[in-house]
Amino acid sequence: MQDGITTGAIYLLLAIGLLIVFSVTRVIFVPQGDLLAFGTLTAATLQSGQIPGTLWLLDGVSALALLISWHRAPLRTALTWGVYPFVLTMATLLLARFEHPAMSILLALAIVTPMGPLIWRFAFRPVADASVLALLIIAMALHFVLAGVGLVFFGPEEARAPAITESNFELGQLNVSGQSLCVLASCIILVAALRWFFGATIYGKALRATASDRLGARLVGIDAAATGALAFALASFIAALAGVLIGAVTPLSYDAGFDIGLKGFVAAIMGGLASFPLAAAGAVLVGVLESLGSFWASAYRDVIVFTLLIPVLAWLSLRAGSGEERA
Amino acid sequence: MTALLRVDRLHAGYGKVEVLHGVSLVVPEGCMVAIVGPNGAGKTTLLSAIMGLLPRIGGHVLYCDEPAGSTEALVASGAVLVPERRALFADMSVEDNLLLGAYTRRRAGNRDTSASMRDVFTTFPRLEERRRQLAGTLSGGERQMLALGRALMARPRLLLLDEPSLGLAPMIVRAIFRVLADLRASGLSILLVEQNVRAALQVSDYGYVLEMGAIVTEGRSSDLANDARVIATYLGARR
Amino acid sequence: MTILAPLLLPPFYVTLAGYIGLATLVALGLVLLTGISGQTSFGQASFVGLAAYATTLLTKLAGQSPIIGLVAGLLVTGAIAWLLGLITARLSGHFLALVSVAWGISFFSLFGTLPLLHGFNGIGDIPPLVPGTGQRVTLGVILAVMTIVMTMSANLLDSRTGRAMRTLNGARLMGASMGIDTVRLSRQVFVLAALYAALAGFLFAHFQGFISPTPFGLGTSIDYLFMVIIGGAESLCGAPLGAALVVLLRDQFNDWIPRLTGRAGDFEALVFAIVVIVLLQRAPDGLMPLLARLWPQHPAAAPSDAEDEVMAPAPAPASAGEALLDVDTVSRNFGGLAAVRDVSLSVCAGEIVALIGPNGAGKTTLFDLISGVLAPSAGTVHLFGAQAAHLSPHRIAALGVARSFQHVRLLARRSVLENVALGAHLSGRAGLWRAMLRLDRAEENALLDHARTQARRLGLGALLDRHAGDLPLGQQRVVEIARALCLRPRLLLLDEPAAGLRLAEKQRLAALLRQLRADGIGVLLVEHDMDFVMGVADRVVVMDFGQKIAEGPPEHVQADPAVMEAYLGTVA
């Protein structure tokens, strides 16, 4: 049960990331799970005193982005895709040898987060007006790209991210691990921070506006390319965070993220790809069901979770009536 | 008078179908210019192409004597469109809708937009009463007020309006047109697309008649309102 | 040729050719599903697996003949696909795709865990299709089946059902208005694609002689999709092209990549994925159209005669004066706003009624209420004397109601003839299977003849082979009207038919409407062009703010002060 709630919290984070990206850009962000694995493995590699390949990947792709858009917006682009990777690379080279857990985690977040906007820049922005289906196929293809890259950089072995805390607590009869509490606390802090971001800041409101009415957003001067990048940045930050959190509980390999990402999907679909509270309920349900499943019938665990989709979709389908022209 | 907006032999359309076949027009600084014409003539297409929402296939659009760029760039430099379907943020509050109207100003570093908000509330007191309400729950007239208010929050130099009277009760239409006349008097330039030909020609300085994607007549609005052909076609005085 | 190939190939290439043939089968299903019907599935490999395991269990473990295995595989797969389609049929396309990921993983994990299926150890020694023969014979069967299925798919696309399938891709409302049951059809296509996959699975088990869960995973499903995108999702030839490219390249990669990187792994997936992303960005129609451009275009079929018949035989007669449409105090609210309020309206046979009013007055909403797109919040709609307020659009069409759209809805990349023939959907009955087996030709010819007649009647005779999307807007409207007439309607609903038409075209349209009236058809049209309305309508209904404010003969309505106020407006 405790495991169920912890993993449920992770699914919730992923579901939030998926919903943000989908509502702002209509992209179903399949490779979010791969970024989660990147988060875990980058932190683990740093913790072992090595420089993760993802850093070089970030440098390379950023350089490409810089090269392509140099002539258009030199200053801002240079800051984003030139200075940031440079500073980050220097920092990593300097700090990696200390093998300090918090340092590894923060660096991992800083390395993986910009990958979201880069993915947007290269894979989706050129075809931002394509159908949801075409965007989904691209997203699916990206999963294979990231998984392949992950294998190159991290090899097929599982690795564990550094834990924030090793302590355990007695809570009445229950033995609660400190890391589980960290997961829950991070989840709560993140949700609160996102609430503030979307409710009180102009950029958060701009994202909501884009999700609410694309034309209206363009007409008040909201730059669709920038909001897309922001949505992807949020999603990849969430994925990286989820990665360093869950990676300390369960060791992950390069291809383990996809399955975790899918569970996030199940939760997001329960919210009809639109509602955050329903997705949250879905996430906890998936987490609990999964841990019960692994207790009673571990071999059929995934089958049970995915079968959960069927009644949910049937219900959505009945409610949808004939609203077909949206896609 | 200098031209704020100059459209020169503009061609535009959807996919392979060209809707505008070389439209030229001028909006002088501080003037209200009306475009009238039958449904399907290409009026909305014209506004979309000016704003860069549709690719401009041929010809030029000059705003402030510079080639018009992307939609975002135009909005940031003060050319704001209120589209036919209003395009409000339905699940956000009236206040947030207005706030987002000033998005480009906020991005340019201007953090205090409360003065503009007060101006909008003075013009449309109704919006102040409903400031916490979701935009999606407003009535038709209130929606148009909010759409206009949101556009005004950008402190525009040029306002482009697509059918502002669409689906509104005559009393509200009158109120909206009064606001437009006031805005024009305060020095704002307006490009107005309107099916309500008589009203449009009454409030505007200059008019263009668009048919089948081309300008067929143009002239001072008072002249157009007395033009035999315009009367016959649009003002319904055939009897 | 293809049948002889198995005899000449060395063994290794026999296997490779078999894989290409099998992949082509699955990919053909995906072309129909994705390229033509605008849906997609990331779970085709699990259908392949279902059928492969079904035939394996029956032939190897129960000792039955492969025929039984085939039938069982098709039945099981078809039934499961039908159920999955049922669940997602009404949802947007991406839901089906997401669910397909889930079922793909579920089946894969079931194949791996059910004790009966021997897990990842797999099941070997599956008997060959023809006892005592080897892979070569099976390869012959595979290539023959592939050719047959490809021909049948081509037959399908060139038929009434094939045209209907194309409306599933982003034009469902239009399809439904032509009488196509889009929900049912999209489910049928989905099941058909699953059956293609099942056929491949059956052949795969007997070709390979050994099965394990590995080739039925999500990765393989996505390979199939990649084949279709690389080859070209909209053309059937894209399927074998994509299948061959992916299978052959994968084979090469398997040799080279470990040597280059010193590591085994799924790197070819990475390469394919990048190719797919670049293709979707740069050439969303895949390689086939690019290849096709290399060959000289075969000249279009004999140019259709440009001579337009002016008059055509009258469609379904109706006795003049009979009430066709009776709308009684209907209302429709959208979130508290009344778009239509207590409107009553009737149209009789042989009558042209014009519905006018300012933009936003609720005319199009009323149209949608009549044609079944929306259900009224209150009030009743009777068509031909029967209650029709809650029928879906395709049923309304079946009653004999045809409509055109305010914003033209055509299949832009199909010919004018095909677009017009969509309107004749209900005059045919041949379904999926009859089309695939070419048992529909007599009906199809009659149907196309009818479409040609209607197109010529409206002056489209010279344009029958042109893509509808290439025509100017005015002519696209005429195509819509021709399509509507193809339905042989008793009641015709036209939403702004004269908008964007030139004067001569308007006069021609007016003459056509008068002729339809003489034939006893009832016409309800929404129109802004007052000259046009006054010239053609028997009766005019004026709406403003969702309400009817005037009704009567044109001259009468034109003089009504309320109408003047609504239409011409006044400024203080």
Q: Decide: A89 and A16 in contact? Cβ < 8 Å.
A: no
Per-residue pLDDT, averaged over C40-61, amounts to 92
Contact list, A217 vs chain B (CB under 8 Å): 89, 100
- Within a domain: A251: yes
pLDDT at C319: 61
Beta strands in C314-436 (DSSP E): 323-334, 337-348, 352-356, 378-383, 386-387, 401-403
Model confidence at C307: pLDDT above 50: no
Split at pLDDT 50, 70, 90, the class of C309 is very low
Which strands sit side by side in the sheet containing C522-526, from one edge to the other?
C401-403, C491-495, C522-526, C352-356, C539-544, C547-552
* 3-state secondary structure string across B91-120: CCEHHHHHHHHCHHHHHCCCCCCHHHHHHH
User: A133 CB near a chain C CB, below 8 Å?
Assistant: yes
Lowest mean pLDDT among B88-102, C272-286, C419-433: C272-286
Q: How far is C531 from chain B (nearest CA, A)?
A: 8
pLDDT at B239: 33
More confident residue, C488 or C505: C488
Yes or no, beta carbons of C499 and B165 under 8 Å apart = no
To the nearest whole number, what is the mean pLDDT of chain C? 85
- Within a domain: A166: no
Lowest mean pLDDT among A248-252, C344-348, C563-567: C563-567
CA angle C294, C36, C191 (to 5 degrees): 135
Indicate the residue of B39, B136, B236 with minimum beta-carbon distance to C567.
Answer: B236
Yes or no, beta carbons of A299 and C113 under 8 Å apart = yes
Q: Centre a 10 Å sphere on the Cβ of residue C507 and count the other Cβ atoms it contains.
A: 13
Q: Which residue has the tokens 């009344």?
A: C338
Lowest mean pLDDT among A51-55, B6-10, C40-44, C253-257: C253-257
Mean pLDDT by 10 residues, chain A (327 residues): 81 91 91 95 92 91 84 70 87 85 92 95 89 87 91 88 78 77 90 92 94 93 91 96 91 88 84 75 82 72 75 72 37
User: A60 CB near a chain C CB, below 8 Å?
Assistant: no
Count of domains forming chain A: 1
Split at pLDDT 50, 70, 90, the class of C305 is very low
Whole-number Cα distances in Å, C355 to A163, C342, C385, C528, C543: 71, 15, 21, 9, 7
HSE toward the beta carbon, residue A123, CA cutoff 13 A: 31
DSSP state of C300: P
Q: Locate the chain B residue with the closest alpha carbon to C555.
A: B239
- When the candidates are 3.30.70.2740, 3.40.50.300, 2.60.40.1840, 2.40.50.140, the CATH number that belongs to B3-78+157-235 is 3.40.50.300
Task: Give the Cα separation of C217 and A286 in Å (integer).
Answer: 22
Task: Give the Cα separation of C181 and C172 in Å (integer).
Answer: 9
Residue C91: name the closest of A212, A275, A321, A271 by CA: A321
- Within a domain: A163: no
Contact list, B88 vs chain A (CB under 8 Å): 213, 216
A296, A324, A325, A326: best mutation site toward chain C, by most C Cβ within 10 Å? A324
Per-residue pLDDT, averaged over B26-39, amounts to 91
Interface pTM, i.e. ipTM:
0.91
Per-residue pLDDT, averaged over C458-463, amounts to 88
Q: What are C's interface residues with B at a Cβ cutoff of 8 A?
A: 335-337, 358-361, 412, 469-473, 476, 496, 499-500, 502, 528-531, 545, 558-559, 564-572
Task: Give the Cα separation of C238 and C245 in Å (integer).
Answer: 10
Contact list, B154 vs chain A (CB under 8 Å): 220-221
Helices C66-88 and C93-113, axial angle in degrees (round to 10): 140
Model confidence at B32: pLDDT above 50: yes
Q: Decide: A304 and A293 in contact? Cβ < 8 Å.
A: yes
Conformation bin of residue C473: beta by default, left when phi > 0, alpha when psi is -120 to 50: alpha
Beta strands in C253-367 (DSSP E): 323-334, 337-348, 352-356
Yes or no, beta carbons of B100 and A222 under 8 Å apart = yes
Q: Decide: C548 and B148 in contact? Cβ < 8 Å.
A: no
Per-residue pLDDT, averaged over C298-303, amounts to 46
DSSP state of A252: B
Per-residue pLDDT, averaged over C224-231, amounts to 90
Q: Centre a 10 Å sphere on the Cβ of residue A257 and count the other Cβ atoms it contains.
A: 31
Model confidence at C175: pLDDT above 90: yes
Residue B80: name the closest of B98, B101, B61 by CA: B101
Q: Which residue has the tokens 């000449």?
A: C8
pLDDT at B111: 74
More confident residue, C299 or A316: A316
Q: How far is B135 from chain A (nearest CA, A)?
A: 11
φ and ψ at residue C355, rounded to 5 degrees? -110, 115
Q: Decide: B160 and B50 in contact? Cβ < 8 Å.
A: yes
Split at pLDDT 50, 70, 90, the class of C448 is very high
DSSP state of A299: G
More confident residue, C569 or C72: C72
The interface residues of chain A toward chain B in range 183-202, judged by CB-CB distance below 8 A, are 202
Per-residue pLDDT, averaged over B219-223, amounts to 92
Q: Decide: A130 and C280 in contact? Cβ < 8 Å.
A: yes
Model confidence at C459: pLDDT above 90: no
Per-residue pLDDT, averaged over C354-360, amounts to 82
More confident residue, A323 or B83: B83
Question: What does pTM read for this prediction?
Answer: 0.86
Q: How far is A134 from chain B (nearest CA, A)?
A: 19
Helices (H), chain B: 43-51, 71-76, 94-101, 103-107, 114-123, 125-129, 140-152, 170-185, 197-203, 221-225, 228-234
Split at pLDDT 50, 70, 90, the class of C297 is low
DSSP state of A69: H
Contact list, A303 vs chain C (CB under 8 Å): 106, 109-110
**Residues 6 or more apart whose Cβ sits within 8 Å of residue A173:** none
Yes or no, beta carbons of C567 and B197 under 8 Å apart = no
The interface residues of chain A toward chain B in range 220-249, judged by CB-CB distance below 8 A, are 220-224
pLDDT at C306: 43
- How do the domains of chain C map onto residue ranges? 4-217, 318-400+489-572, 414-487
pLDDT at A282: 82
User: A216 CB near a chain B CB, below 8 Å?
Assistant: yes
Yes or no, beta carbons of B103 and A216 under 8 Å apart = no
Q: Which structural domain range is residue A18 located in?
A: 2-156+173-326
Split at pLDDT 50, 70, 90, the class of C564 is confident
Q: Which helix (H) or strand (E) holds C211?
A: none
> Under CATH, which number does the domain C318-400+489-572 receive?
3.40.50.300
Lowest mean pLDDT among A58-67, B71-80, C165-174, C328-337: C328-337
- Residue A182 identity: C
Yes or no, beta carbons of C567 and B137 under 8 Å apart = no
3-state helix, strand, coil split of chain B in percent (to 5) is 40, 30, 30
Q: Centre a 10 Å sphere on the Cβ of residue B131 and count the other Cβ atoms it contains.
A: 14
Model confidence at C40: pLDDT above 80: yes
pLDDT at C300: 46
Q: Which helix (H) or strand (E) holds A125?
A: none
C473, C477, C529: best mutation site toward chain B, by most B Cβ within 10 Å? C473
- How do the domains of chain B map onto residue ranges? 3-78+157-235, 95-156
Q: Which helix (H) or strand (E) holds B158?
A: strand B158-162
More confident residue, A291 or C7: A291
Lowest mean pLDDT among A115-119, A322-326, C295-299, C318-322: A322-326
Indicate the residue of B71, B85, B92 with minimum beta-carbon distance to A212.
Answer: B92
Contact list, A320 vs chain C (CB under 8 Å): 90-91
pLDDT at B75: 94
User: C91 CB near a chain A CB, below 8 Å?
Assistant: yes
Contact list, B204 vs chain C (CB under 8 Å): none
- Residue A203 identity: Y
pLDDT at C455: 92
Yes or no, beta carbons of A213 and B80 under 8 Å apart = no
Residue C147: name the closest of C234, C248, C28, C227 by CA: C28
**Residues 6 or more apart whose Cβ sits within 8 Å of residue A192:** none
